[in-house]
Structure 1
Amino acid sequence: MTLPAPLTGVVPPVCTPLTPDREVDVPSLLRLVDHLVAGGVHGLFVLGSSSEAAFLTDRQRRQVVDAVVAHLGGQLPVLAGAIDMSTPRVLDHVASVTAAGAQAVVVTAPFYARTHPAEIDRHYRRVTAGSPVPVLAYDIPVSVHTRLPAGVVLELAADGVLAGLKDSSGDLGGFREVVTGVRTRPDAAGFSVLTGSELLVDAALALGADGAVPGLANVDPHGYVRLYRLCRAGDWDGARAEQDRLCALFRMTGAGDPARMGAGSSALGAFKAALHLRGVIDCPATAEPQIPLSGREVEQVRTYLAAAGLL
């Protein structure tokens, strides 16, 4: 399967179920894939932030891609994160995930060292030159401490270097600048602009986005597909009501006590607790050194699921 140009629809960043000893739980992973496919999603993104890619070994990363690609058998496009600190390390990941069958790679700016926009530009050009599949940029400044400049993204789009953008910056104004820029540049035709926000999907689609990559879609794929379809049908009242329901469900990510854990532990712990409570995965364990939710916090997640009609 080749990647559609542009890629559209709901493309969940797939969680990585783990066993109690923190190995990849492949049977649970494949049940999760089936759960997402049954929800009507349009593609899958593995090895992103919601996949806990930063916590997985290279062996585990490859195991995830191998399992998902083989299980899907070409039903949907599979995008794989190739996320690391430098261009050579990213190219190593590109080689691994494409050998496993990924139809596209999703790449952040370099991180750890400070980077200049010229270095970001150089990074993506080098990665694309070494990739046998399309490359999408991943803008997630909270993790890599670098915001992708809209001008750099648009130039790379116009030059055919990038096939798309997953924007998890939280900057709706900057997102709009990219969407508008792509729409007004014929040389950027086919470039896909996807929001990574769970909370602003209706707004992003109204601005002209092609789709969404929301982590909460692991828990409620049907809801996000329903939201996407309502937006595409121009039913903005219905879309707003569905988005409001999903925003209320997203509050589960704050179940973890901030006095003892970080926001990432809380959010990923909530996603996995919800998937466990829904019977999709066997174990809600998150990767080390993240702190697990307590029993009381898991019960809070249960109340959000019940309120959303998911239990």
Structure 2
Amino acid sequence: MSLGDEHDGASSTGAGGTGQTRTRLPDSGAGDVYGGVYGGARRPARNSRSLITVVGVVVLLIAAIAFANRSGDDSSSDAPSARDAAAPTAATGVKPVTGKNGTIPSGYAHDEQGAQSAAANYAVALVSADILKPDRRRDIVRQVFVPDRASALEANLDKAYNKEFLSKVGLDANGNAAPGMTYVSRTAPVGTKVADLSADAATVEVWCTGVFGTAGVGSTSPVTNDWFTMTLKLRWSGGDWKVESFSQKEGPAPVNADRTASNADEIAKAVTEFGGFTYAR
């Protein structure tokens, strides 16, 4: 999935925090995965028809969200930042966010750490299955975006996620999967990086992985995983960090491990039994 829109980022002032986080995952044979692949080991076999279907769904999502989020301002910069150097996540002594606006965490600190926490949680909400449900979309948009952008974006999302689009990804007009099917769209932030920061504005990049597709017997869009980086431009508004614009690009993506895929029932069960997280430094 991909999100489109670019605005001029806020100027960097280097206030507070290290400027980026990195999540370290447990070592589970990474040497075999990476070393083996680069040494010519076998890549997992893929069904070409299923792969084409998955790619088709992703392309639809890219086009829809890019349309919904465009504002006519394509000014952006890919210039390297002084914040690009990685640093490990460390305890900071700042109390994590405890409030909630509906189901989305709120009440972030007015500093660099608060901006990173807000960006991580908003990335999860903006690429969730609920964003495709008309009755939930309005709530998400109003909770996540600055007031002066919410109405326009909501209208664009309604046009992008119309009945025709939902049908193409196997959902009805209300964003629900067919009986016996479970639509999956869950994102997990791996780390965050602040690209620009000022007193009341921040641009935060969120490196994410996630699972997307429809679980169920006979599904034409099986659940697959993806890696992407979401860029969120935030503004301090109404005593909290809110999104002004967002965009998305592919990767960085690791080499896929040669693991046996779980069946549709296992995936659907996992989605209903394993809850999500509130992300805060």
Task: Indicate the TM-score class for this superposition, using the shorter chain for normalisation.
Answer: under 0.3
The structure carrying a bigger strand percent of its residues is 2
TM-score, normalised to structure 2's length? 0.26
Using CA pairs below 8 Å that are at least 6 residues apart, which structure has the higher relative contact order?
A: 2
**TM-score (structure 1 length as normaliser):** 0.24
| Structure with greater helix percent | 1
State the structure with more CA Rg. Answer: 2
